[in-house]
């Protein structure tokens, strides 16, 4: 039981740092004996979810597919690290219920900081009216109210954010060593 996988679900606005932190966190868990798989929203949209847009229903379907993959990985001794905006609380609640062993990690970077980072230039386009359904600008983001872990990327660099998550997982009793 102690060696069973569990899902780390990173949620946050675009450019909050989900992908960056997931990539820092994965090797730290691998060093500790775990098999880790990154499930990145953008990457999955190029394959499994390439048919989906950005409306509410499409985002829910996207989250449901990622949930399914995370579930089958977690029950096979893998730690899936999900990096997905997942703007709807109901989708995250569903993921928690379906996966069971589930840690919600809120990458809580404020909108103005995300907008300054604007990794893919999408905030700029949204402000210019060139794209619709941009989370944080003209599409909703429902922040987690009771995440297990909350990461402040204004205060912590990516590597330190990953170390902080490990420390919190230990504190919460999750097996970070396999």
Strand partners, 39: 82
CA 136 from centre of chain: 16
Among the listed residues 15, 19, 49, 109, the single contact to Mg ion using CB under 5 A: 19
Q: How many residues bind ligand ADP (CB under 6 A)?
A: 17
Q: Which residue is nearest to ligand ADP (CB)?
A: 17
> Choosing among Mg ion, ligand ADP, none, which partner's interface includes residue 161 (Cβ < 5 to 8 Å by kind)?
ligand ADP
Q: Which is nearer to ligand ADP, 7 or 13 (CB)?
A: 13
Output the CA angle 151-149-144, nearest 5 degrees. 90
Widest CA span of the chain, in angstroms? 51
108 makes contact with ligand ADP (CB under 6 A): no
Say how many Å lie between the first and final Cα of the chain, rounded: 11
Among 4-12, 15-23, 48-56, 147-155, the segment contacting Mg ion (CB under 5 A)? 15-23
Among the listed residues 11, 15, 67, 91, the single contact to ligand ADP using CB under 6 A: 15
Q: Which is nearer to Mg ion, 9 or 176 (CB)?
A: 9
Q: What is the CA radius of gyration of the chain?
A: 16
16 makes contact with ligand ADP (CB under 6 A): yes
User: Exposed, middle or buried, 6 (CB in 10 Å: 0-12/13-18/19+)?
Assistant: buried
Give catalytic residues, as residue numbers: 86
Interface contacts to Mg ion, rule CB under 5 A: 18-19
């Amino acid at each position: 039981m102690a060696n069973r996988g569990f899902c780390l679900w990173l949620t946050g606005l675009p450019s909050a740092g989900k992908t960056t932190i997931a990539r820092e966190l994965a090797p730290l868990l691998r060093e500790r004996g775990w098999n880790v798989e990154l499930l990145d929203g953008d990457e999955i949209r190029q394959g499994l979810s390439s048919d989906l847009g950005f409306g509410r229903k499409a985002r829910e379907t996207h989250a449901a597919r990622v949930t399914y993959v995370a579930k089958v990985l977690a029950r096979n001794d893998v730690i899936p690290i999900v990096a997905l905006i997942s703007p709807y609380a109901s989708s995250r609640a569903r993921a928690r219920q379906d996966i069971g062993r589930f840690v919600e990690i809120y990458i809580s970077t404020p909108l103005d900081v995300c907008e300054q980072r604007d990794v893919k230039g999408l905030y700029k386009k949204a402000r210019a009216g060139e794209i619709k359904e941009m989370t944080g600008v003209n599409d909703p983001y429902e922040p987690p109210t009771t995440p297990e872990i909350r990461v402040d990327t204004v205060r912590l660099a990516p590597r330190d954010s990953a170390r902080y998550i490990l420390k919190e997982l230990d504190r919460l009793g999750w097996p970070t060593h396999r």
